[in-house]
Amino acid sequence: MSQYLLIESRDSFEFGDVAYLHDLARGLAKEGHAVTLFLVQNGVLPARPSAQSERLTRLARGGVEVLADDFSLKERGISAGSLADGVRAAPIERVVDLLAEGSTRAIWH
């Protein structure tokens, strides 16, 4: 089993290719890999309860750890307590920790 870190910086309301990264995360988790989807910059916008957040909730229910950068949330006026089901706020240090392990494979989109 491998560890994957998928970093999403794009807003799924604006970019249709964000679904590709979600599909990749779902597929990797289904194969038994540990997958973290880390939302940063405008990638945190769908973390609010909305039609777009349902994808994130399904990923979390499917075994993907879905995290939203706490700084990006604050910059956009989104409180950590108002996130969609399955999405948790986390500091960017979480990304650093995963990368420092040395065995995590990362993709930034």
Q: How confident is the model at residue 55 (pLDDT cuts 50, 70, 90)?
A: very high
Mean pLDDT taken over the chain: 93
Domain 3-108, what architecture? 3-Layer(aba) Sandwich (3.40)
Residues 6+ apart with CB under 8 A from 75: none
Average pLDDT over residues 102-106: 89
Average pLDDT over residues 80-108: 93
Q: What is the C-alpha separation between 27 and 82, in angstroms, rounded? A: 28
Residue 87 bridge partners (DSSP): 66
pLDDT of residue 14: 79
Average pLDDT over residues 14-30: 91
pLDDT of residue 101: 86
Indicate the residue type of 65: E
Full-model pTM: 0.93
Residues 6+ apart with CB under 8 A from 65: 34, 35, 36, 37
Q: What is the C-alpha separation between 27 and 25, in angstroms, rounded? A: 5
